[in-house]
Structure 1
Amino acid sequence: MTILIIEDEELTARKLQRLLLDVEPSAVLVGSTVSVEESVEWLRTNSRPDLIFMDIELADGQSFDIFNQVTITSPVIFTTAYDEYAIKAFKVNSVDYLLKPIKEEELRQALTKLRTLKEVLAGEGGSSTPVLGLEQSLATLLQQLRETAPNLSIAPNPGFRIEKTVATYRERFMIKQGQKLFSIGIEEVAYFLTRNKMSFVKTYDNTEWMLDYTLDELAQMLDPKRFFRLNRQVIAEAKAIDKVHLYFNGKLKVELKPMFTEEVVVSREKAAEFKLWLGE
């Protein structure tokens, strides 16, 4: 099985590759891309892979943009830290939709599902229309969410309405300093950041510690009422938002405390959600 991985976080891509080799030893990684632009170019110039793992949020846009620029006949398994793209995912060649951090059993089930659908998906004559009917695909997804996401309560009605219930979020993080281990409470955290493809936590006393999680994984662990993903580089706690400035093209520029050394910009697409989160 030849596989293309589209993922802009190197650590996440490496973890997925290792997990794939554990679950599917015969898998061959034929490519790894990090952006919409690079993915489109790869797909135009290389042979069709048997399967594509596709992160949804990429550095230069959403991976759905790839389908607008190149015809994809390979089956796709979407990987994302967010659950709001489920319906959109099943309008393209999606076989499954895995929430990060990806668990081995969920990956195994997705590959089993692909084998079951192989007679439909295989061959160069594949279609870019949905692999399954949208309603059937949604029903399958919702069943998987029931089994794999205990913090979701799914209403059994024709509208497939998904309702959030009380969720459990991280209250402490373990820190390693040399040969010592200690923990910090979530109330000490100002923001999480990524730098040089590594993740760090910044506390309100202006101390910075390395963490062994990607920002995508952290986004799943944190209370969304308390923390907001400002961009690909920063997840901030509400009290860490010092000032917000209007920026060009509908974007917002954010000043953090303790001060962040680089410019923090919220995209135009996320600006309205961010202002609502702040309490506008």
Structure 2
Amino acid sequence: MNILIIEDELKAAKSLIMMIKALRPVAIIVSEFQSVESAVKYLSENEMPGLIFMDIQLADGLSFDIFKSVAINCPVIFCTAYNEYSLEAFKANGIDYILKPFSREDIEIAFEKVEQLKNYFQQNLVPDIGNLLSRFEPQGGKKSFLVFKHNKYVTIHTDTIAYFCIKHEMVHTVCLDKQEYPVNQSLDQIYSLLSPSMFYRLNRQYIINFNAIKEIEPYFARKLYVKLIIATEERLLVNKEKSSSFLHWMENR
């Protein structure tokens, strides 16, 4: 199988290649690209690979832009640090949607899905699209969190949370009433439990609630400055690479 990798994080790309070679030694990595532009050029001028591993947020934009320029007719496995694009990924030939940091087991499961789908078509059977789609349907998200503070456990409802952040190497949640609680989970774990329509991962330090957003202002270098109704210790900035996806999330919840 010929495999194309579109990933702008060199460390992630290297790790992915090592896992692919270990799991499918006969697979051939035909090329690697870090941007939408370079991927479009290659796919326009060369034979379509058998499989594509694709990050979503690339150096020059979202990888979904590739599909606007090139007709991709092979399976795509999306590998990303954010889960708010799952429905779009499914619509774009997505066979699996792997959240970083991915494991060897994640890659093996993805390969098995591609191979099972190939077998379905070879046998002229209709794949269980309903089952596959259920993986990408937006969930309501976790309704509450159990936290521990002042020697007692407290349940806080998710819709009362303004944002999650990392402070002093520990995750904290700040509620709309300005109460703050430590949370015994990583930011990645928390984000996987939340409704992607209500919460957005701004960066590695912050997850914010849509209802906590007060206003958004243009900032230097095509960034966005997000102001919450609850003050934060630092300015919340969306970099230019994520600004379009953030505004899309704001408008299309």
Q: Which residue type is aligned with residue 47 of structure 1?
A: E
Deviates more, 1:56-65 or 1:113-122: 113-122
1:117 CA drift (Å): 2.3
Go from structure 1 to structure 2 and tell me whether the alpha carbon gap of 1:6 and 1:219 turns closer, same or farther (over 3 Å shift): farther
| Residue aligning to 1:127 | none
1:116 CA drift (Å): 2.1
Q: Which of 221, 243, 251 is equivalent to 1:267?
A: 243
TM-score, scaled to structure 1: 0.55
Q: Which residue type is aligned with residue 270 of structure 1?
A: F
Q: Which of 124, 129, 143 is equivalent to 1:137?
A: 129
Aligned residues: 200
Secondary structure of 2:91's counterpart equals coil
Q: Which residue type is aligned with residue 108 of structure 2?
A: R
| Residue aligning to 2:83 | 83
Matches of residues 1-280 of structure 1 in structure 2 within 5 Å?
Answer: 1-118=1-118, 136-137=128-129, 139-140=131-132, 142=134, 160=137, 162-165=139-142, 186-189=166-169, 220-221=188-189, 229-230=201-202, 235-236=205-206, 246-247=217-218, 252-253=224-225, 267-270=243-246
1:30 CA drift (Å): 1.0
Structure 1 runs of 4+ aligned residues shifted over 3 Å read: 119-122, 221-224, 227-231, 234-238, 248-251, 253-259, 262-266, 271-274
Q: Which residue type is aligned with residue 187 of structure 1?
A: K
Counterpart CA distance in 2 for 1:80 and 1:263 is 17
Counterpart CA distance in 2 for 1:273 and 1:87 is 12
Q: Which residue type is aligned with residue 91 of structure 2?
A: K
Go from structure 1 to structure 2 and tell me whether the alpha carbon gap of 1:64 and 1:167 turns closer, same or farther (over 3 Å shift): farther
Secondary structure of 1:68's counterpart equals helix
1:97 CA drift (Å): 1.8
Q: Which residue type is aligned with residue 247 of structure 1?
A: P
Deviates more, 1:61-70 or 1:263-272: 263-272
Aligned-CA RMSD value: 4.4
1:4 CA drift (Å): 0.6
- Gap runs ≥5 in structure 2: 146-165, 172-185, 209-214
Counterpart CA distance in 1 for 2:248 and 2:40 is 29
Counterpart CA distance in 2 for 1:245 and 1:91 is 30
TM-score, scaled to structure 2: 0.60
Contact residue 190 and residue 258 of structure 1 kept, 8 A: no
